[in-house]
């Protein structure tokens, strides 16, 4: 079956751009993966291995087909808007996918992000991040700017220098600079790296997820915890890595594939991130407290369409509403030319 060219939208696209050659099988492969993942989507219910396979709605099939055709349109050089954003319906109820459907979804995410373009910022540019943390006192947001070469930083709201609270205005941008210490850190064995050093370290990682994680465990240096299993360590490594604002696309893809290999990791669809944005979650649950101190559900959120990192919610297993665990969302991010600028 020619599963993509049989849709009626395709001839219309050809008429629009008759000068564009037909896509090759290699170009069609990602769209076929999208269709396959949609057809395999299934929901894990109850205890044990019981799985209920739910038929896809007609609207779901239409949207999947449209997404595949849209991929062909971009491949052929024409950008066509097939589904208006205003027609999107509310997210369905959250559902936990089976191991196979989770692996399909994470492979789709990997195939999507590894096609992204990547350009390293200039040494004098700044990486911007706005994050919101959720604690017992409610949500609190902060903005941070970090110079790419590691020689400067800025933040809002500002934090007063130790012992200097008089006349301090937290709403005034606080900027500080220092000497270029990248070589000093390297010579003196500091674990800390500049944004540039860390990005370049990530860029050297192999794309194979098993070899990638082995290298990360060897060199990332987040610290060993006695009694921690390799699966728990890998989850912790990946979680920390995703907190980096800039990650090379091939590494993002490798991390999705590595998540698929963690025992017990599942994809949860139809969820919202801590800021209420449509998301998918990748989750593990620890019935007993781990060596790192976590117990219960641990979840990393990604945008439901672009698979960009959105935040996380980590249950610490403490009793009572006064300890919500570690919950944080990345509200905005990007690269700017000076502190105080926003993308």
Spell out the SS3 assignment of 207-237. Answer: CCHHHHHHHHHHHCCCCCCCCCCHHHHHHHH
> Which residues in 172-184 are b (16+ Cβ under 10 Å) and which e?
eebeeeeeebbee
Query: Which pLDDT band, with edges at 50, 70 and 90, does 181 fall under?
Result: low
**Has residue 206 been placed in a domain?**
yes
Question: Which pair of structure tokens corresponds to residue 113?
Answer: 């992000």
Same domain assignment for residues 186 and 291:
yes
More confidently predicted of 49 and 93 = 93
**Has residue 342 been placed in a domain?**
no
More confidently predicted of 84 and 312 = 312
Query: Which pLDDT band, with edges at 50, 70 and 90, does 44 fall under?
Result: very low
HSE-up of residue 189 (Cα within 13 Å, Cβ side): 0
**Has residue 108 been placed in a domain?**
no
Number of domains in the chain: 2
**Has residue 120 been placed in a domain?**
no
Same domain assignment for residues 134 and 67:
no
**Has residue 99 been placed in a domain?**
no
Q: What is the pLDDT of residue 43?
A: 39
Same domain assignment for residues 53 and 201:
no
52 strand-pairing partners: 43
Top-ranked range on mean pLDDT: pick from 74-88, 135-149, 215-229, 309-323: 135-149
The CA-based angle 204-104-55, given to 5 degrees, is 165
Same domain assignment for residues 64 and 140:
no
Q: What is the pLDDT of residue 253?
A: 97
The predicted model gives 250-259 an average pLDDT of: 97
**Has residue 31 been placed in a domain?**
yes
Same domain assignment for residues 56 and 198:
no
Q: What is the pLDDT of residue 188?
A: 66
Same domain assignment for residues 318 and 229:
yes
Q: What is the pLDDT of residue 21?
A: 45
Query: Which pLDDT band, with edges at 50, 70 and 90, does 185 fall under?
Result: low
Domain boundary among 65, 89, 113: 89
Same domain assignment for residues 144 and 75:
no
The predicted model gives 191-202 an average pLDDT of: 83
Q: What is the pLDDT of residue 117?
A: 87
Instruction: Write out pLDDT tens, residues 2-33.
Output: 343 333 333 333 333 334 344 444 444 544 45
**Has residue 4 been placed in a domain?**
no
**Has residue 242 been placed in a domain?**
yes
Q: What is the pLDDT of residue 193?
A: 74
Same domain assignment for residues 134 and 51:
no
Q: What is the pLDDT of residue 266?
A: 97
Q: What is the pLDDT of residue 195?
A: 87
Same domain assignment for residues 72 and 144:
no
Question: Which pair of structure tokens corresponds to residue 4?
Answer: 């993509």
More confidently predicted of 122 and 163 = 122
What range defines the domain where residue 250 resides? 126-152+182-336
- Tell me how many helices (H) and strands (E) the chain has: 9, 12
Same domain assignment for residues 85 and 147:
no
What does pLDDT average to over the chain? Answer: 76
pTM above the 0.85 mark? no
Instruction: Write out pLDDT tens, residues 114-161.
Output: 999 889 999 999 999 999 999 888 899 999 999 999 899 999 998 877
Same domain assignment for residues 30 and 147:
no
In the predicted structure, residue 45 carries a pLDDT above the cut 70: no
What secondary structure does DSSP assign to 199-210, as a single string?
A: HHHHHTS-SSHH
Same domain assignment for residues 193 and 76:
no
Q: What is the pLDDT of residue 242?
A: 93
């Amino acid at each position: 079956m020619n599963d993509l060219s049989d849709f009626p939208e395709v001839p219309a696209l050809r008429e629009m751009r008759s000068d564009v050659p037909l896509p090759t099988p290699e170009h069609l492969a990602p769209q076929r993966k999208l269709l396959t993942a949609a057809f395999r989507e299934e929901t894990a219910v109850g205890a044990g291995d019981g799985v209920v396979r739910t038929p896809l709605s007609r609207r779901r099939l239409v949207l999947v087909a449209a997404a595949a055709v849209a991929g062909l349109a971009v491949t052929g050089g024409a950008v066509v808007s097939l589904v208006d954003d205003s027609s999107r319906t509310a997210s369905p109820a959250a559902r936990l996918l089976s191991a196979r459907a989770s692996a399909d979804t994470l492979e789709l995410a990997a195939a999507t992000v590894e096609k992204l373009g990547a350009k390293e910022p200039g040494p004098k540019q700044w990486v911007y991040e706005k994050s919101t943390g959720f604690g017992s006192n409610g949500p609190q947001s902060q903005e941070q700017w970090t110079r790419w070469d590691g020689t400067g930083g800025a933040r809002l709201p500002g934090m007063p220098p130790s012992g200097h609270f008089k006349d301090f205005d937290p709403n005034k941008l606080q900027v500080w600079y220092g000497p270029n210490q990248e070589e000093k850190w390297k010579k003196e064995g500091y674990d800390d790296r500049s944004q540039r050093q860390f990005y370049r370290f990530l860029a050297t990682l192999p794309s194979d997820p098993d070899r990638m994680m082995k290298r990360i465990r060897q060199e990332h240096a987040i610290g060993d915890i006695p009694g921690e299993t390799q699966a728990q360590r890998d989850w912790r490594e990946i979680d920390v890595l995703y907190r980096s604002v800039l990650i090379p696309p091939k590494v993002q893809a490798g991390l999705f594939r590595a998540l698929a290999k963690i025992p017990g990791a599942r994809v949860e669809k139809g969820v919202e991130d801590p800021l209420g944005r449509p998301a998918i979650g990748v989750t593990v649950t620890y019935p007993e407290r781990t060596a790192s101190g976590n117990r219960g559900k641990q979840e990393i959120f990604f945008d439901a369409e672009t698979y960009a990192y959105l935040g996380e919610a980590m249950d610490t297993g403490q009793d009572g509403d006064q300890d919500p665990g570690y919950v944080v969302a990345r509200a905005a991010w990007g690269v700017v030319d000076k502190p105080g600028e926003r993308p």
